[in-house]
Amino acid sequence: MKKITPAYTVINTVLKVKKSEKVIIAANPETNLIAQDLYTEALAAGAEPTLIFQPAKKAMDSAEPAVIAALKTEPQVFLSISYMKLGKEPAAIANPYEINGEKFDSTFDYLLNGKKVMRSVWTPGLTQDMFERTVNIDYDLLAERCKKLSKKFENAVSAHVTAPAGTDLIIPLEGRKPFDDNGDFSKPGSGGNIPAGEVFLSPVVGDPKIDGTGCNGKIVYDGSMTFGDGDSIIKTPIDVTVKNGFVTEIKGAEEAKRLLNTITEAETKAAKMEKEGKLPKGQGAVYARNARNIGELGIGLNPSATIAGNMLEDEKAFRTCHFAIGQNYDGDAPSLIHLDGVVRNPTIVITYKDGKTFTALENGELKI
């Protein structure tokens, strides 16, 4: 009887790779063992896999041209088995793809979310230990939880998130649809993380000049945080003031300085890229502004995940939610960064158009 390894699960349960499908696996030297196991399982499934390596990439680095060229062959399946990030695509940022009036600043995003001809798994920060612990879970149960929680966000007007460390944020959600990272990436146009396990939404984007728009209040990150130079457990909470959808003040200790430095770098680089012709005219200011946007509210649902200082796993942990600063998932807040930060034991109250409410989490406990 064949042993059900994490690599087997990803290829056969998560992606349901079929015979003769073109599968590209992009990895780094740090993730080579996982990538090779995935290659072997894709080959065993009768697919036509290709394994390509590039150096590990940080948040604002560019992907290697060979990786971008591989994506341009339009594989049915693409796995980004990244130690940190896949990397950006300068040419597509300067001249975005466009389909049905929507723009995409990478070939990856264009094939996955635009043309919807590809399905994908991406794993920024994956380690061997995490792979072994968090992949072989009950995906039927995960899908059920994701479906129930997502349904609770349908027709929501807003959510109010509070937490013991001091988070108190109102999040506008009208018109926004929840996304399920439920581990079923078997259909073209679907994709997500491994480990899987979250429901997430993009808050309505605010306007710095109009009071009451966007997210308003305070986020106190007390779990872990993504910075430009990697992820870390938070020792001293990061106190972030949010007004009209954007971060206006960051207080704390060393972690707060790292967060501010990453945001400032993204703002500066966006302006520089426009001057160099790497962003369309007028987009430098847009990308810079959105470096302070609240781009995501997510809720962790993977029972095997823990907070360990690696965001790929941390944001999936039970009894947590996370807020991202930077680019969102609805395409109306492009930025050079997407910095996730975890909040422990949140209470999340959803409000609907008819004034009714539902408490999705109470002190971290899931209520669906």
Per-residue pLDDT, averaged over 259-284, amounts to 95
Q: What pLDDT, on the 0 to 100 scale, is given for residue 243?
A: 98
Q: What was the pLDDT predicted at 327? A: 96
Given the DSSP bridges, would you call strands 168-172 and 230-233 parallel, antiparallel or unpaired?
Answer: unpaired
pLDDT at residue 60, rounded to an integer: 83
308: region left, alpha or beta (phi > 0 left; psi from -120 to 50 alpha) = alpha
| Phi, psi angle pair for 141, to nearest 5° | -65, -40
Q: Which residues pair with 342 in a beta bridge?
A: 322
**pLDDT tens digits for range 163-181:** 999 999 999 999 999 999 9
- Nearest to residue 78, comparing CAs of 119, 44, 123? 119
**C-alpha dist (Å) from residue 283 to 72, 287, 327:** 25, 6, 13
The pLDDT score that the predictor gives to residue 59 is 79
Model confidence over 276-333: pLDDT tens digits? 999 999 999 999 999 999 999 999 999 999 999 999 999 999 999 999 999 999 999 9
Q: How far are the Cα atoms of 167, 216, 313, 348 from residue 357, in angstroms, in the given order?
A: 19, 19, 30, 10
**All structural domains of the chain with their residue ranges:** 6-129, 138-366
Mean pLDDT for the stretch of residues 188-214: 96
pLDDT of residue 58: 87
What per-residue confidence (pLDDT) applies to 1? 63
Fold entry, domain 6-129: Rossmann fold (3.40.50)
Nearest Cα neighbor of 231 from 191, 259, 192 is: 259
- In 10 A of CB 73, how many CB atoms? 12
Give per-residue pLDDT as tens, 329-357.
999 999 999 999 999 999 999 999 999 99
pLDDT band at 230 (very low <50, low <70, confident <90, very high): confident
Which pLDDT belongs to residue 287? 97
Stretch 351-364: mean pLDDT: 97
Q: What is the 3-state secondary structure (H, E, C) of the chain?
A: CCCCCHHHHHHHHHCCCCCCCEEEEEECHHHHHHHHHHHHHHHHCCCEEEEEECCCECCCCECCHHHHHHHCCCCCEEEEECCCECCECHHHHHCCEEECCEEECCHHHHHHHHCCCCEEEECCCCCHHHHHHHCCCCHHHHHHHHHHHHHHHCCEEEEEEECCCCCEEEEECCCCCCEEECCCCCCCCCEEECCCCEEEECCCCCCCCCCCCCCEEEEEECCEEEECCEEEECCCCEEEEEECCEEEEEECCHHHHHHHHHHHHHHHHHHHHHHCCCCCCCHHHHHHHHHHEEEEEEEECECCCCCCCCHHHHCCECCEEEEEEECCCCCCCCCCCEEEEEEECCEEEEEECCCCEEEEEECCEECC
**Which residue(s) pair with 53 in the sheet?**
27
Return the bridge partners of 294, or none: 325
Separation of alpha carbons 57 and 80, rounded Å: 12
Question: How far is the C-alpha of 286 from the C-alpha of 335, rounded, in Å?
Answer: 8
Does the CA dihedral 82-336-64-120 come out positive or negative? positive
Across the chain, what does the average pLDDT equal? Answer: 96
